[in-house]
A = this chain, B = another copy of it.
Amino acid sequence: MRDVSENVVISAPEWIDDVVDWNGVYATDEAKMRVAIELAAANVRRKTGGPFGAAVFEAHSHRLVSVGVNSVVRLNNSVAHAEMMAIMMAEQRVGSYSLHRPDRDHALATSCDPCAMCLGAVLWSGIRRVVTGAGRDDALAIDFDEGPVFPESYSYLESRGIRFARGVLRDEAAAVLASYRRQGGPIYNA
The secondary-structure label for the interface of chain A is mixed
* Chain copies in the assembled complex: 2
Of A115-123, A128-136, A166-174, the one touching chain B: A115-123
Q: 1/0 per position for A66-102, CB-CB distance to B under 8 A? A: 1000001101111111001101110111011110000
Tell me the minimal C-beta distance from A156 to chain B in angstroms: 4
Of A6-14, A26-34, A38-46, A175-183, the one touching chain B: A6-14
Q: Pick the residue among B7, B12, B75, B95 that contacts A9 (CB under 8 A).
A: B7
Would you call A78 and B125 a contact (CB within 8 A)?
yes
Would you call A116 and B79 a contact (CB within 8 A)?
no
Would you call B92 and A77 a contact (CB within 8 A)?
yes
Would you call A79 and B79 a contact (CB within 8 A)?
yes
Task: Please give, as numbers and ranges, the residues of chain B lying within 8 Å of A124 by CB-CB distance.
Answer: 72, 78-79, 81, 115, 117, 147, 189
Q: Does A103 contact B (CB under 8 A)?
A: no
Tell me the minimal C-beta distance from A119 to chain B in angstroms: 7
Given contacts A76-B95, A97-B78, A123-B116, contact A89 B8 (CB under 8 A): yes
- Given A10-B10, A123-B145, 14 further pairs, Cβ under 8 A: A1-B64, A4-B17, A6-B92, A7-B10, A78-B124, A79-B79, A79-B87, A80-B97, A81-B124, A117-B118, A117-B123, A119-B148, A148-B152, A150-B150
Cross-chain pairs A/B with CB under 8 angstroms, 27 sampled:
A1-B63, A2-B93, A4-B12, A6-B92, A7-B10, A8-B10, A8-B89, A8-B92, A72-B97, A72-B124, A76-B96, A78-B124, A79-B87, A79-B124, A79-B125, A97-B188, A98-B189, A115-B120, A116-B116, A116-B117, A120-B147, A120-B148, A123-B189, A126-B189, A148-B150, A148-B153, A150-B153
